[in-house]
Structure formats: structure tokens, C-alpha cells
Structure 1
């Protein structure tokens, strides 16, 4: 009987471990935490906007696979990438409603490979900038159809443009993966949708244009897909009531009001003090970064009551001087990781971070001075892996507590 009891305990323990690492359910939210399989979920990840582009060419797919493999080896469990490419060279969307099946099959491959390596994905649906088309391409499409367009910011208010964008949402969300046969809206590999990469509407400092657009588009997406989380794609800039916290400019967004919209499930934050405070020295930029992170953690915790994901952070090697580049970048990364861990270890609102950007070896033309190539950056790679382990330990702690509670109730 003792042996049977011991065997039962071992089986229960193994099942609990499997539950910790299983990735076959949708990520949800509960209070200020992300949840997966009933336990808090923490995201240590990266941006790789290029995944669909490379995966659309079968001869280049090995770079996608090797990146997922190496990322998984370092404990990275989430990737953020583009589900858009509007007009121009090798587009996903040739024109409103006209799609490139070759590119879509590339995105299919990205999701299939991510699942294979246990990596969740955030898919962004349009760009604020004209790279890969973005809102500029959308308003140009509308102008060519006779719409009166004053600026790119008409993207947020023109009914024809909004119709084009809603059609893109529907096309992507209802896409059926040609490799797995699973519709995107039913695929738990996708952690969340993002409405726009770095929403900005500088022509309307009141914030009304962006607030109305997020509300409308979030409700529309949720009406099609009730499985996935949704975030707006905000950098974290505050509105007129708190402009002193911004780095000397406004972009028509409001971290508080925009994220209070009920259909937005979690808040996001981007951090580029080397761009925003380009005339300041490195130490002043790090000081700003600490304050920027901590202020948003407190606001997400006390006002929004929602999880906060540091969806982009990075520092350019050009801005680090000629010596100690790795040391300074590692200090920057460690500042972000320390803020996340300090919050997460106490059950707080910070649920993870995604650095910009991860490249595979042999992608020199995609370097932007922010890139991390793990094989070339051993100290940064070690720091990333250590953060993965620290967040994983928090998740396991919660899982053990949950299983002990279940055991006590039986």
C-alpha cells in the first residue's frame, strides 16, 4: 500500500509539472496577472518583426526555425511579430481585401514552428509608421478611391479607412492555417492580438481620436474572436493630465484612458530613452528608464488593475560609445529585468518583457544597432536566460501552491 501511495504521489507530481509547462491552452487574465493552465504566466520574450517575411520564402525558413529553437533554449517563451505588410514589396495585403497567399503561408509556418518550440506569439495588425505600409498606405488607398484625406491621422476617423482595417482584422483573425488546419482565432499559440504597433495621432493631443478608434476596433475584434487577449500597441505616453511624465512630447495617446477601455486586456510599455532623450548621457537615460518603468507599474497596479507587459525595450549600440558596449547594454537590460522581477515576485502587475530585436545569424541586412544575436552576445544571452529561469521559478511556485491546495482539499 505504501508503494501504491508513493507511486500515486509521483504521478501527481509529474502531472503538476506538465501542467506548469503545457502550452495548449489560451493565455487569460486574472486581476493583474496573466494566467495559463490555472497558474500565473510570465513572459520573457523578444521582438522579431521579420518572421513572416522570411517564412514566406521556403529557402529562408531555416532562419525562423533556428531562431525559435535558440530562443527556446534560452528560456524565451514569447515572440512579437507583424501580421501586416500593406502594399509595396512582398506585401501580405496587395490592396484592401486582396491578399498574398504566399505571405499568409509564411505566417502559417511561423505559428506552426512557434507551437513546436512552446513559444506564444503576439501578432500586430498594422503599423503606425510607413514601414510595411502602415496607416499611410491605408489612407492612400482611401484617397485613390476619392476620399478627402487631410493627413495620415485620418486613419483613425475616416469611415472608409476604418472599413479597410476592420476587413484586415477579420481576414487575419479568421484565417485557417494551411499547415495545422486551425483557424487563427482558435489557435492558443497566439497569446494576443495588437491593434497597432506604436499608436500615434499627433494631430489630436486631446486623445479623442485614438480613444474612439481603440474602443471601436477592440470591440469589433472581440466580436469575432472571444478566445484571445487584446492589447492596443501603446508605448506608454500619458495624456494631457500627466504630460510631465512624458519625455518632452505628446503623441495623442493616454496610457491611463486608453488602457481603461474594457476590451483591452493588458497594458503595454515601450522603452527607448536613447531615442527620446538623445541629448542626455547614458546615466541620465538609465535614471529616466527606472522612473518610467516604476511609474507605469504603479499606475497599472493601482489605477488600471491590469497586467503590464514591457512589449519593447532596447538601446542602440551607436549610443553606447566605442567601449564597454556589452556591459552598458547588459546594464540596460538588467534595469528592465529587475523591475519586472521585483513586481512579479510579489504578485504584481509586471508580467514580462520583450527586447528589440532578436536576429538569427546571417541576417546582416536586418541589423538596426538594437539587434541581439545570441551567439555573438554571450553576456547578454546569459542575462536573458537567467531572467527566464527567475520568472519560471515564480510560475512553478504558484503551481506548487495550487497543487498543495488541491491536495489539502481532497
Structure 2
């Protein structure tokens, strides 16, 4: 293990045991469910194997989900869910989270632990709204249909975000939602791990608690209130918000200016934001993307410096070489993605040497997932791509040797 104390902030850097602490991470949102026993959809043997592989690559941080909402009948959802109704929990999934946290601690990993989601693949904001209003349907945005192997055309992203954002914009339901969310936070951070015996709020393997995955335009008052609630609960870990930093500096400041927020986050989605075209047979789109992500990282890091806080770029991904093969096939090459990741890592290494960025995390680790593998009894394959997106779009797999070498080289240079 490289350290055992809690991560702290000094200026614009993270520290552990008195030494600068940087992260080379992966998103591993499925870890909680993989940690459950087989009867509840888990696969502990595979989980341990993949964590050992990540350790061998030099990875030292995983960004994970510690909350999911729904009965399990909803589409596009993590299954089984942790919270099946307001205040009602599936203990077996909680034990899966216990197993995951113990496994991370044993290997010296830390975790950014996410407590909610703007998007529907874990339930998140929209499920809270549906619970409180009694809505039987949620206006889902276009999502991947496993039967037709295509994106549905019903719904719109804007309508879905507006529905989910009633979480903090609709005064008629906000009080009830706030009570359920804060109670859920309390249940998670005050849980005693059934394996380690540690209360989660006192587990040094947790780098930070994260309010939400990619909240869209979270109000400054909401961030301050929720982060303050976590702080007052007596957690020993850091707290962050989880925004993409997709928009303007005011949105960034709204999400990070609170005294209860310890470091800043950013995500960069080159294809989703219409910057990169994986079908482009020339190198023009890739080179434009490398320039765009470099400028983005420098800009967000500068904004973080203005706030006097560290910065972690905790999500970014790229499709496989769709100009050479099937976009969603795990057999398609990853040459452009490898070059893209290398560019991001080079910028991080430069900024890190100046004490201005604390790390990055790729989206997402898919490990041993294959298209031919049998789904479990819940129809889940534990792929890095969440259940509302096309399988193998952004997953980094154990078979992606060239990408793994890029990660390993960066870990050696950065840490």
C-alpha cells in the first residue's frame, strides 16, 4: 500500500500522509453489484481478478456508485438496485458495496464514491421525482434498446433533464425529495462495513464523497446545502460535486465555490459534444479533438486555481476506430483512442508537475466483458458502458493491450 491515511487538501493539491497524492483512475460504477454474492447477480471472482489487473497497471483510484434507485423493473437501470423504495434497501447489494470497499482497501486503492445521478441508468434524480410525484412513467431520453440494438427515438435529452432537475427546481416537491436524499446519504455514510467493521464515514479508502454524477446546472445553494449536510455528519473524507464542467465558468463556480467542496471535477465527452467523429477516415477530427481537450484541461485547471482548489478530470472516453470496423464491437481497434488518451495524460503530466492537477480517470473499465458472455439472471453483463448506452462504446477491456500499456506508462510517469 502507498498510504493509509485520509486524503487531505493543501492549496491546490491533494496530500496523503504528508506527501502529494495524485490519482490515475478508472470509472468502475458496476463494482457495487459485482461485489454482491452470485445469487444476487454478483461475480466476486471476476471482480477480484479485475482489481488485481488494474493494480498491475498502476491504477490507484476507482470512481464508483454507492447508490442506485428503483424496483428493478424499470428499463435502462443498474440491477438489482440498492434502494428499492424511499428508505428501503436491498441488504445484499449493500453487502456488495462492503465487499468492494474491502477489496479496494486491501489493494491500496482509493475511491470517489458517488451518491446520486443526473442520468437514469442508476435511477437518480428522475427516480426521486417519480417516487414523490407518483408518476408511473419517466420521460427517458434516447437509450439503447438491447432487442433492436439501436437507440430509441422517443423522448428528448432536454425534456429528461428538465424532469430530473425538478429534484431542485420544483418547490412543490423539493422538500420531500430533499428529505429522502439526505436520509439516503446518512444511511450510506453511517453504514458499518460488514467485512472491515469500519463506518464508511471513517474509511480512509474513500477519497471523497461526490454529490451526483453530472448534475446539470446545480444551484450554488443546493451544492452548499448537500455538501454541508455531509460535512456536518462528521465524515473524515473530502467532498466534491461531480459536474462535467460542460458549460460556462459561472456554472463551474456554482458547483465548486462552496467552502464544503474540497476539489473541482470535470468530464470531457468529445463525441457526445459533437467535437469528434469516429467515422472520419482522415485524422482531421482526431487532431481537432486533441486540441480541444488540451484547451479544456488548461481552462478548467485555471478556473480551479482561481478558486484555490485541486482539479480531477474524472471522466473521458473515446469510441473505437469506427472508420476501420464496427463502432460497438470489442474486436475493433483502439489506435485513435490510445492516441487521445496519451494526449490527455501528457497534459496531465505537465500540469501535475506544476502542482495544478491531481489526476484523471478514464471512462470506463469493462475488464473481462465480452459480447458473447452470458448475462446474469438480471440480464446484466457488467460492461463499462452503462445500461442506457451501446455496449462496448467506451469500455476499456482486459483484451485492449495497447490501451492498457498507455495507462501503465502514464501511471509510471505521473505517480
TM-score (norm 2): 0.80
1:238 paired to 2:242: no
1:235 CA drift (Å)? 0.4
Q: 1 CA distance for matches of 2:318 and 2:265?
A: 18
- Residue number in structure 2 paired with 1:277: 274
* Residues 271-280 or 110-119, more deviating: 271-280
Q: Which position in structure 2 is the counterpart of 1:383?
A: 406
SS at match of 1:86: coil
1:329-359 deviations in Å (ceiling 9; x for gaps): 1111011101110011122x21111001112
What SS does the corresponding residue of 2:348 show, helix, strand or coil?
helix
Deviates more, 1:273-282 or 1:256-265: 273-282
Are the counterparts in 2 of residues 22 and 37 from structure 1 also a CA contact under 8 Å? no
How many angstroms does 1:141 deviate by? 0.9
Separation (CA, whole Å) in 1 of partners of 2:245 and 2:234? 25
Match of 1:37 among 17, 21, 28: 17
Larger radius of gyration: 1
CA contact (8 A) 1:308 1:351 kept: yes
Structure 2 residue matching 1:198: 3-state secondary structure: coil
1:277–1:285: 8 Å Cα contact kept in structure 2?
Answer: no
* Local SS of the residue matching 2:20: strand
Q: TM-score, normalised by structure 1?
A: 0.80
Q: Distance in 1 between matches of 2:323 and 2:5?
A: 41
Select the residue among 368, 377, 392 that pairs with 2:392. Answer: 368
**What do you get for the CA RMSD once the two structures are aligned?**
2.2
- How far apart in 1 are the matches of 2:296 and 2:202? 36
User: Deviations 1:254-313 (Å, cap 9, x if unpaired)?
Assistant: 112321111100001101111102576222222211111111112212x11111001001
Query: Using the alignment, how far apart are the partners of 1:116 and 1:215 within structure 2?
Result: 33
Corresponding position: 1:129 with 2:136: no
TM-superposed deviation, 1:319: 5.0
- SS in structure 2 of the partner of residue 141 of structure 1: helix
Distance in 2 separating the partners of 1:172 and 1:320: 44
2:210 aligned to which of 178, 188, 194: 194
The 5-angstrom pairing of residues 173-322 of structure 1 reads 173-201=189-217, 210-239=219-248, 254-277=251-274, 281-301=285-305, 303-317=306-320, 319=322, 321-322=324-325
Looking at structure 2, the residues matched to 320 and 28 of structure 1 have their Cα atoms a distance apart, in angstroms, of 44
Within a 5 Å distance, the mapping from 1:7-156 to structure 2 comes to 21-58=1-38, 60-89=43-72, 90-144=80-134, 151-156=163-168
**Helix, strand or coil at the partner of 1:274:** coil
Structure number with higher helix proportion: 1
Q: Which residue of 1 aligns with 2:145?
A: none
Displaced runs of 4+ in structure 1, greater than 6 A? none
Give 2:365's aligned residue.
358
For the structure 1 residues 319 and 234, does the alpha-carbon distance in structure 2 shift closer, same or farther, using more than 3 Å as the test?
Answer: farther
**C-alpha distance in structure 2 between counterparts of 1:368 and 1:328, whole Å:** 15
User: SS in structure 2 opposite 1:49?
Assistant: coil
Secondary structure of the 1:105 match is: helix
In structure 2, relative to structure 1, the CA distance for the partners of 1:345 and 1:99 (3 Å cut) is same
Q: Partner residue of 1:342?
A: 350
Range moving further from structure 2, 151-160 or 116-125:
151-160
What runs of 5+ residues in structure 1 fail to find an aligned partner?
Answer: 1-20, 202-208, 243-252, 393-410
Q: Structure 1 residues 363 and 132, CA, compared in 2 at 3 Å: closer, same or farther?
A: farther
State the distance in 2 between where 1:220 and 1:320 align: 48
Contact persistence 2:212–2:241 (CA under 8 A): yes
